[in-house]
């Protein structure tokens, strides 16, 4: 587990909330949700020189959902990065998103990896 991606105490407390019988299912669902959002954001990445418009509304919704999930699991940097992308999408700032979105995708990948490693060691 990479400590800088995830706050271990917060995540552990989260898994304990539902008790041991629910912890494994909850961890599995969290991993799936991060994978889905990661995949969605990758699909929304601007393709250089394609001239295609960005789907700002979809990016906004996905970044917002990512932020809520990241806050819940105790992700360290991902909430802030997601919030930035959410605001850029709201302002339809494609140039800024071209830089910020890959950062969100990378960080969410780190969080998902941290989650997976944590669960494997449970």
Partner 1 sequence: MNVTMSSQSTISSLLLVEDTPSLQMLYRTILRKAGYNAICASNGQEALSKFAESRPGVVLLDLMLPDSDGMVVMREMLALQPSTRIIVITANGSVNAAVEATRAGAHDFLVKPLGDIRLISAVANAHAESQRDLPADISSSEQTTDAIDSSFLGQSEVMHQLHKKISAVAKSMAPVFVLGESGTGKELCARAVHLKSARSKNRFVTFNCSAIPREMQEAELFGQAQRSNAPSSGIRAGALIKADAGTLFLENIHDMAPAVQARLLHFLQNGTAAPTGGGDQVRIDVRIICAATRDPAEEMRSGKLREDLYYRLFVIPMHVPPLRDRGEDVNILARHLLVQIAQEEGKTFTGLSGDTTAIFRKAPWRGNLRELVNVLRLAVVLHDGPIVTPQMLPPELLSYADAASAVTQTGLPSGATPADVLSGMTMAEIEELVITSAIRRNAGSVPKAARELDIAPSTIYRKRESWAS
Q: Give the residues lining the site for partner 1 (CB under 8 A).
A: 13-14, 16-19, 22, 25-26, 29-30, 32-33, 61, 64-65, 67-69, 71-72, 79-80, 83
User: Given the complex with partner 1, which of 8 and 18 has the nearer CB atom?
Assistant: 18
CB 73 within 8 A of CB 115: yes
- The minimum distance between CB 72 and partner 1, in angstroms, equals 4
Structure tokens at 116: 């997976």
- The minimum distance between CB 105 and partner 1, in angstroms, equals 18
- The minimum distance between CB 22 and partner 1, in angstroms, equals 5
Q: Which residues touch 48 (CB under 8 Å, ≥6 apart)?
A: none
Distance CA 88, CA 96 (A): 7
User: Given the complex with partner 1, which of 69 and 97 has the nearer CB atom?
Assistant: 69
DSSP 118: H
């Amino acid at each position: 587990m990479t400590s800088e991606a995830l706050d271990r105490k917060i995540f552990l407390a989260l898994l304990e909330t539902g008790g041991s019988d629910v912890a494994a299912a909850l961890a599995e669902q969290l991993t799936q949700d991060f994978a889905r959002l990661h995949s969605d954001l990758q699909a929304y990445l601007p393709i250089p020189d394609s001239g295609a418009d960005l789907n700002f509304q979809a990016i906004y919704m996905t970044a917002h959902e990512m932020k809520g999930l990241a806050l819940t699991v105790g992700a360290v940097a991902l909430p802030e990065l997601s919030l930035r992308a959410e605001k850029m999408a709201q302002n339809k700032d494609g140039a800024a998103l071209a830089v910020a979105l890959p950062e969100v995708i990378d960080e969410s990948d780190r969080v998902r990896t941290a989650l997976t490693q944590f669960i494997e060691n449970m």
